[in-house]
Structure 1
Amino acid sequence: MTCYQEITCPDCGSSDIMKSGRSGLGTQRYRCRNPECSTKTFMLAYRYKACEPGIKDQVVDMAINGSGIRDTARVTLLAKCPLD
């Protein structure tokens, strides 16, 4: 029995995806084939949380509201990788 995982673009939500090689650490990269999409390549699991979509906007919002570096790190780490 084979199992398939449907992969969609994190930016536009399109399922028209193609493989696009591997990262330096061996993680599979994917490319969105939608011509209107601004995403060039993406991965399903990033090693560094700063590369995930939405983190930059969250950090900028926290900086504008006066949060410090440690507070920002604590919030972004716990929001994206909860402790098991």
Structure 2
Amino acid sequence: MASVSISCPSCSATDGVVRNGKSIAGHQRYLCSHCRKTWQLQFTYTASQPGTHQKIIDMAMNGVGCRATARIMGVGLNTILRHLKNSGRSR
């Protein structure tokens, strides 16, 4: 049986990674026993992909409207508004 080494995206550990069920879409979920983070290898929700928040902020700073940003990125308008609203709190 082939073994695939999966590393934790948070702490980069490979020895404490175990399978942790499946998502609603049927993708395998993983759990890191060191940092207790869970993740899945295939993203199905576009707004949660790494870098999405920064793209939304960059588009807003360049004058692109909220509805146009949502249409271009393929996410909902409420997602765009939530990211913009929470961007001031993360400083």
TM-score range, shorter chain: 0.5 to 0.7
Tell me the SS of whatever aligns to 1:13: coil
Deviates most, 7-16 or 49-58: 49-58
**Count of residues in correspondence between the two structures:** 70
Deviations 1:22-81 (A, max 9, x none): 11121111112223x7xx31000011222223322332333234344168528xxxxxxx
Which one has the bigger helix percentage? 2
Tell me the SS of whatever aligns to 2:30: strand
Deviates most, 58-67 or 14-23: 58-67
Larger radius of gyration: 2
* 8 Å CA contact retained: 1:62, 1:72: no
* 8 Å CA contact retained: 1:30, 1:42: yes
TM-score normalized by the length of structure 1: 0.60
In the other structure, the counterpart of 1:49 is 46
Tell me the SS of whatever aligns to 1:31: strand
Structure 1 residues 33, 63: CA separation in 2 closer, same or farther (over 3 Å shift)? Answer: farther
In the other structure, the counterpart of 1:82 is none
Identical-residue share of aligned pairs (%): 34
2:29 paired with 1:29? yes
TM-score normalized by the length of structure 2: 0.57
Tell me the SS of whatever aligns to 1:30: strand
